[in-house]
């Protein structure tokens, strides 16, 4: 376990490593459980041995390029096809196995992390990294509440 990074915080190498590791573990499950038809057991093995590695520290390295998102999601696509043993589409297989897409799970993890950090549940102070609307900011006609994040806009004119 761990996170591999580069000088410019490019996560391509880390994603390649975890996808490779997950595919190796999935291959091991496929070889050792070839005759097993119980989707619930295969799902448990997948969640414990494969998905846990793919999701480890995802708040830090969550993929933002389409290519990297597809690489990570492809692991679960292959796994669900093996678990259900049908050629149904990916969304149907996820419903049959009561799984969420990895992209949706990462989003949920990110939102949970933000909630915990913002409400003091975790020991991480994020106040210097995010800006929340306050009562003084309600000068515009837009509707904001005290949970809305401010967007940083690039300056387009030079001073």
pLDDT per residue over 70-129, tens digit each?
999 999 999 999 999 998 999 999 999 999 999 999 999 999 998 898 888 988 888 777
Q: Which residue has the tokens 């001073």?
A: 159
User: How confident is the model at residue 53, as a pLDDT?
Assistant: 92
- Split into its structural domains, the chain has a count of 1
pLDDT bin (cut points 50, 70, 90) of residue 159 is low
Range of the domain at 81: 12-118
86 is a domain residue: yes
2 is a domain residue: no
1 is a domain residue: no
The β-bridge partners of 149 are 132
User: How confident is the model at residue 154, as a pLDDT?
Assistant: 59
Helix (H, G, I), strand (E, B) or coil at 38: coil
Kindly state the percentage of the chain with pLDDT values over 70.
82
Helix (H, G, I), strand (E, B) or coil at 70: helix
User: How confident is the model at residue 127, as a pLDDT?
Assistant: 77
114 is a domain residue: yes
User: 0.85 exceeded by the pTM?
Assistant: no
Structure tokens at 126: 């994020």
Residues in the chain: 159
User: How confident is the model at residue 9, as a pLDDT?
Assistant: 79
User: How confident is the model at residue 128, as a pLDDT?
Assistant: 76
Q: Could you tell me the CA-to-CA distances from 75 to 21, 56, 101, 122, 155 in Å, in that order?
A: 10, 15, 11, 31, 41
């Amino acid at each position: 376990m761990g996170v591999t990074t580069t000088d410019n915080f490019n996560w391509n190498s880390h994603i390649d490593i975890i996808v490779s590791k997950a595919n190796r573990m999935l291959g091991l499950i496929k070889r050792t459980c070839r005759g097993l038809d119980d989707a619930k057991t295969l799902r448990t093995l997948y969640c414990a041995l494969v998905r846990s590695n793919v999701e480890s520290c995802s708040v830090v390295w969550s993929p933002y390029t389409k290519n990297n998102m597809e690489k990570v999601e492809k692991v679960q696509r292959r796994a669900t096809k093996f678990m259900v043993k049908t050629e149904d589409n990916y969304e149907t297989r996820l419903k049959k196995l009561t799984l969420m897409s990895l992209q949706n799970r990462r989003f949920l993890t990110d939102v949970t992390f933000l909630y915990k950090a913002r409400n003091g549940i975790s020991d991480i102070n994020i106040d210097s990294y995010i800006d929340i609307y306050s009562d003084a900011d309600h000068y515009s006609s837009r509707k904001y509440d005290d949970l809305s994040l401010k967007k940083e806009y690039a300056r387009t004119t030079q001073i």
